[in-house]
Structure 1
Amino acid sequence: MKVAFLGLGVMGYPMAGHLLKAGHEVTVYNRTAGKARKWVEEHGGAMENDPAAASKGAAIVFACVGNDGDSIDVATAALAGMGEGSVYVDHTTTSAACAEEIAGRAAERGVGFVDAPVSGGQAGAEKGALSIMCGGSNADLTTVSPVMDNYAKRIVHIGPVGHGQLCKAVNQICIAGLLQGLSEAVHFGSRAGIDMDRVREAVSGGAAQSWQMENRWATMNRGEFDFGFAVDWMRKDLRIALDEAGRHGASLPVTALVDQFYAEVQESGGRRWDTSSLVSRLNKKPS
């Protein structure tokens, strides 16, 4: 299948690679052209210098960019090159309103749309093991799911357009609260002077077990954060969740508090640190 992938960040770069390895004809676009050239040198395929050219003739166009504004700009440009009956898939984490706006613009051109934010981080993208939460029609999901399978371990159709993004907000709310609890646990255990490797072995076998514990406990305990999902992006996602909560009359007191804790991490120089760096603000405080 002829497809395009727009946005070659830490997620998009390996995701596009999986599509080419699966035998699809892939054209890529990235705002920084050097990244696209590097991708082509590594994987093959083709590149274009604008979204419309990259999307021309593609049956499916995938995008994974930065925020609402980026998503709308890239989608608008890409749709100009897309033909009737094709489908635009946005893997960017955006607001539901953004997804609805892009879907409306796509419909005007006879193009389908799926909002499909992902969870699993860079490691999940590289391993082809992402969890994808989707909003859109059954017909559009039927078209794009077999292709997304190349970098997914789970694809779930949540509901109509925008519901994939609302599900991603749920995901980030869960992670925010969990990481704060995990940060306090690691901080407490370290201050208490117990063997934290044995503690993890003990508690990860019970009800406290989580992906974050399995993948971040050791690095949190060592104070290593120069990897993973950046605090800047987490704050963007939490702002979306808090805004959506306001729209729907939901109360998110813990999420709002953790968002402020992340602001402290940003102010201390941790804008690009992994989200597990929440523990750093606790470790700075006097015992």
Structure 2
Amino acid sequence: MTGSATGRHTRQGAGMNIGFIGLGAMGRGMAANLLRSGQPLRVWNRGAGPVQELAAQGAQVAASPAEAAAVDVLFTMLADDASTRAVLLDDGALDALAPGSIHVNMATVSVAFAREMAALHAARGVGYIGAPVLGRVDVAAAGKLNIVAAGPDEAIARVQPLFDLMGQKTWRFGTAPEQANAVKLGANLTLACAIEAMGESAALVGAHGIEAAGFLDLLSNTLFAGSPVYKGYGAMIAQERYSPAGFKLSLGLKDVGLANDAAAEQGLRLRFGAVLRETLQQAVARGDGELDLAALARMSAPKSA
């Protein structure tokens, strides 16, 4: 279906206790912005560092995922299906959510997992929203993310003031939570394709004596003018600046793999997506998994041949 964009609201989510689980590179900035709501924020993370950082800013520290989930609205921002399942099911967070509460899963998870979670939440009378985000770590810290949301209209309306604290715009894509995850996987597939295209084309012109920086600058100011992907990632490729990683290549492999899986579920074959997954697997095998996704361009460099 066609998505719609929702801009900032002036009011904030009044009278709600909020929980946040998953304070990694993205989550800690998102949670910090939720503190601006003025509502109690309870946080939990496997590593203590980010928890202490947010506690110093006024957040309440939960002793367990279940304690963090005993709130009106729970946000989770975890790495993948497995880590989300562990927190929700094994660690008791889902059981701690009271009927009428809402869980907003902001991670990039598989379509199948999102569908399963929606059913488990519905059986308990708990609202479930899929709300993965577009943006890197600095964007999350600035509260300028683009949030892709799908789920019951009433539930999204209830948490929209909180979305407005973390993002510059909320993009609505349906009432089934997994639809948001399908959109996010499509977006990340497109991102990886763009990086692969820049890497290959830079290798092509480089073989003919043209520096990558000038060529990629041409692309970002002509054919793809105004594109943050071509401008930002193009500069990283030109400078071979792949660390520290804003979005790890290994996570790019995960998302491209999930995109292929989501397509296969509907009887589709992503021809370029399949090739891209194989290339990313090779990049991880050669030791590039902890580098930024921009390092995918290294696979097209002459030394990779």
Q: Provide TM-score, normalisation by structure 1.
A: 0.93
SS where residue 49 of structure 1 aligns? coil
Q: 1:103 to 1:225 in 2, by over 3 A?
A: same
SS where residue 146 of structure 1 aligns? helix
| CA deviation vs aligned residue, 1:189-229 (integer Å, no higher than 9, x gap) | 33433354443443323223432211122221121211211
1:166 alignment counterpart: 182
Q: Which of residues 155, 170, 178 is equivalent to 2:194?
A: 178
- Unpaired runs of 5+ in structure 1? none
Q: Which of residues 121, 125, 135 is equivalent to 1:110?
A: 125
Write the distance in 1 (CA, Å) between the matches of 2:113 and 2:304.
Answer: 43
Larger deviation, residues 195-204 vs 64-73: 195-204
Query: Which residue identity is paired with 2:80?
Result: N
Q: Which of residues 276, 292, 295 is equivalent to 1:274?
A: 292
Given that residues 186 and 217 in structure 1 are in contact (C-alpha distance below 8 angstroms), is that contact kept between their aligned partners in structure 2?
no
| CA deviation vs aligned residue, 1:175-198 (integer Å, no higher than 9, x gap) | 121111111122233343335444
1:263 alignment counterpart: 281
1:244-259 to 2 correspondences below 5 Å: 244-259=262-277
Query: Which residue identity is paired with 2:77?
Result: C
| CA deviation vs aligned residue, 1:141-175 (integer Å, no higher than 9, x gap) | 11112111111122112112210111112112211
Q: Provide TM-score, normalisation by structure 2.
A: 0.87
Q: Which of residues 97, 100, 104 is equivalent to 2:115?
A: 100
Write the distance in 1 (CA, Å) between the matches of 2:288 and 2:184.
Answer: 23
SS where residue 5 of structure 1 aligns? strand
2:11 alignment counterpart: none
Higher relative contact order by CA 8 Å / sep ≥ 6: 1 or 2? 2
Query: Which residue identity is paired with 2:209?
Result: G
- The CA RMSD over aligned residues, in Å, is 1.8
Count residues in correspondence.
285
1:59 alignment counterpart: 72
- Unpaired runs of 5+ in structure 2? 1-15
Q: Which of residues 16, 23, 36 is equivalent to 1:8?
A: 23
Amino-acid identity (%):
26
2:235 alignment counterpart: 218
Q: 1:286 to 1:121 in 2, by over 3 A?
A: closer
Write the distance in 1 (CA, Å) between the matches of 2:241 and 2:207.
Answer: 17
1:114-193 to 2 correspondences below 5 Å: 114-159=129-174, 160-193=176-209
Is 1:45 the counterpart of 2:59? The answer is yes
| CA deviation vs aligned residue, 1:31-73 (integer Å, no higher than 9, x gap) | 22343223323x22111121111122x2210001011122222
